[in-house]
Structure formats: structure tokens, C-alpha cells
Structure 1
Amino acid sequence: MAHRVLKRWIAVEGYRAQDPRQTLSDAVNEHVAELGGRLPAGWALARARLLARGTALAALLGARSPDEVISEQEMMDPELRLRGTPDLVLLGPEVVLIDLKTQTFTKGDVPDSVKFQLTIYAYLVELTYGLRPDRVEVFSLNRGPIPVTVTDEGIKDALVQVASARASSRHDAKPAEVVCYFCRRRLECQPHWDAATKWPDADCVEGTLRRIEEATTGAVAVLIETKDGDVWVSGVPGELISGGPGDHARLVRLGRSRTNESGLTGRRWGHNSAVHIATPM
């Protein structure tokens, strides 16, 4: 939801206003009104953090014109069959790649899976615009900007990992969180799902679809019964949920949401997420 608010704020050039924090607050209120009051779990904290970072976000975007602020534009390499949708690419004298993260980051380093994602994004930005990002950052709503180092060697290694993952057959696949992130076989690759249960902060969910709640926006929240307990996934486009309770569901490339009032773990749909629903035979 924070991503959609940010996109709205950028579209109306709120970051260039005399009081960018106020225009960001206006964007929040307008988006909430469109949702008809149906807000995801944890939104109150995310909203407070987003507004608190409004001035810093405006400073980051600076005086760039709207055509220099690229928000959630899909980029792809047809030859390598790679695609990605960075949150923000800032063009101009300095090219900046930014990934907005709403989940809480501790004082530790950025997870390897996020570094891998941004390395691929940096490659796609250079391919699309002919310019390697001068800066790559995670913009954490609880910590602010966190720099991520992207090197030629890192990009080369990431592309090799993607190619290796695609070349692997079902029997010799070697799943790893950073390798599997962009793999298009994730949804059907059983070795991946076997390994993902052991990852400390897996971005995927597999289990039985137990409940579907619809929002006025057309998005839905689905309750998935997994081996480790129930998980809510919010913000899923309704047209992608073709099944019903009792069906088997797999979802990948999800963001983390806060645990809700009932103590259930939460995940949220993102622009790179994917889902597969199957009816048990």
C-alpha cells in the first residue's frame, strides 16, 4: 500500500511542493478513501513511518522533473528472459536506484536476497537507459536509506546464478534463496519448495487455501494454511485467484507484513509476485 501511495505522490509531483510531507499525507488520505476503509494489517505503523520519512524522500528525489522520476516501470532483457520492476529509478546528473521496504529492518545488513534483487535491477537499468546507477539504496521506512554496493563482478555473478538455475533440471536443481528469486520455474519446482521451508525469511508461501476476503479495490486477502501455521497474504489481484477454499496455493516473491491482531503471520503481494492455484486431484 505504501508503494501505491508513493506512486500517487510522485504522479502529482508532490515531492516538489513547498510542503512535501503535507502532499504525501494528502496522497495517503486519498488512497485510503479509495479503499473504503478496508486497510491491511500493520498499515497504521507503515503510514506513520512513511509520513515521518516524507521530507527525506523529497530530498532524495530533489528537483528532478517528472520524466526523470521513473516509478514502478517494468524493465526487461528479452535475450536473457529477465524482467523486473524497480520501485524508483532517478535519472539526471546522478542515476539512483531505490527499493522501498516497508518491513522492519534491524541494525543488521540488508538480506542477500534483497542485494541480489537490486543487482539484477541495476543491470536492467543500465540495459534500459545505458547508464549504470551511481547509487543503489534500500529506502527502509524504519531506518531510512541503506546503501547497497553493486559491482561489475556482482552483476556478472548474479547473471551466472540465474542462468545456472534455469539450466538445472528438476533432479539436479540446487535451490538457494538468492538464486531462486527470479527463476521462472519457482512455482512448479519441487526442490525449491522443499528447500524454502528451511530458509529463515522465505518470500514464498505454500499450503491450502482456507479463506478469501475481497476489498472494494478488487484486491483480495487470502488465508493459507501451511505446515508452520496460517499465513495471510494481502493485496492479491482478485482476478488471479481462480480457485476456492481447499485448493492448493503457491505464492512467491512476497513482501512481509506485520503480525495481525490475531497473531497470524502476514505477507503482502508486490509487483513481482506470482501465484498458482491448483485443485487437489
Structure 2
Amino acid sequence: MEKIIPLLAEPGAHGGDPNDAFHVIVPSLPGYGFSQAPDRRGFSSSRVAELWFELMSGLGYTRFGAQGGDIGAGVSTWLARRFPESVMGFHVNYISGGYRPPLGEGLSPATAEEQSFLDAIAAWAANEGAYAHMHGTKPQTLAYSLNDSPAGLAAWIVEKFRAWSDCDGDVEQVVSLDELLTDISLYWFSGTVDAAIRMYKENRLDPLRFKPGERVEPPLGVALFPRELPMPPRSWVERVHNVARWTEMPRGGHFAAMEQPELLAEDIRAFFRPLRR
């Protein structure tokens, strides 16, 4: 988030409209380098959303927007679901393949486009999802190995930057070597990779599932970057959410705030502009 903070907080200093300025709060997920690791079970994205609500309330924000990618997108969705009276809107640049609106008897069946997405997710999980299955089932076993070997930790992390960014196989086109080493170092020197991957298991035990007829009321904005992991079609998301903005981006991948901060910042500004009071 380092690159995007000044673009949102001081747009006038970066070629934008000063009226689009935000107060920007960027908390670190529990156990992700900058914050203390949880000392008990149950720290799923839903629980983190509760912490973020308490944080914002404690800072004096009774109404606020949320934004995130990857796990942060799930936390933002939980915030909007659990605290709709406080979340004016939320914007994401990723929607997990584990996200599920209600399907079944008496409900609209999956369309051809939606079924194609489900098939793509299944194929992706078979070819690329071994890490997630390990994180979600045996995170502590893996953690001993990663905490014992800096080379192993680097390989585990950098492989994802290379595979999931819009870099044509050369990760340093979009993420510098210094940024990669900084990211790896945050996990290595804090010894928090065990807590970080543990959240995958917590989220598997407390998944983002919706009840028939349930609606998440705060408006949603979605930015789709072309080299993102498989993303659902708009109709899939609209089964539960009030989608107010749906933007297909010209370039970028999973790490949008690092890869294309200007594009992401502008879409965030555009989404929240009509929601400001």
C-alpha cells in the first residue's frame, strides 16, 4: 500500500483533484509483519473485519469506506456485510474463488458465463492451488520449513509475485528487487509467516457464504486487472451485491496497489466520488 497512500491522501500533489482526498487508514492484518500475531484460534477475515470496525470507531469514524485486494478484499466484504450502517461503500480489486452466492433449488441456476467461471476456478485450483490447500489444511507444518529457510521463504513468496503479476515472466518489470526483498524480510525478521498462512485455515473454517435472499447493502466497486487470478462475471457478484462500478483495467495483476497504483487510485476515487457527503 506504500505507493497508493499519497495518491489517495494528497491527490492534488499528484495530478489529481484535491477534492478527492481521503483520510487513509491502512491497518496491517494480524500476524502480517507489522502487527502482533494472534494468540488464539478464530482470527478469520470476519474477525478481522470486527477489529477494523472497532479501530475505525475508536478513531472517531462513524461512516467510512473500505478497499482491499486478496485477503483485504474479503475483510472489506465482511465489513460491508456485518456493519452496513457504517460502511458507505467498498471497493475491491479481487474476489476470491471461494466466494459463493446462494445456489440451489428455487434459485436461478448458474448461467453459461458463471459456469465457465466455476470451471476456470476448478482448473486453476488443480494447477495452481496447491499452496492454498496446504495453507488451509496444514499451515503450521509448512510454517516450520519456511521459518527455517530464508531461501525457501523467498521461493514461496517470489513465485507468486512472478506468476500473479502482469510481468510477462520478468517480475522485476513491475516489482523491484528491493521491494521483493523488503516483503520477504518482513516475514523473515518478524517470524510471522506461520500466523499469515494460518488465516487461510481460519477462512476455510469460516467461509464467505451467503444465505438465500441475502443482500449486502453498501454499494460495491470492482476493478478487474487483466492478469488477476480468475474473477467472476458481474452477474455472479450481483446475486448478492449492489454493484455500482465495474471497471476492466488495461494492465496489472494481483498486486495492483504495487503494480499499478495510479490506475487503482483513480478507480477508487471515481467509485467513492458520488458517495461523498
Pair in the same fold by TM > 0.5: no
RCO higher in structure (CA 8 A, sep ≥6)? 2
TM-score normalized by the length of structure 2: 0.28
TM-score normalized by the length of structure 1: 0.28
Name the one with the larger strand percent: 1
Name the one with the larger helix percent: 2
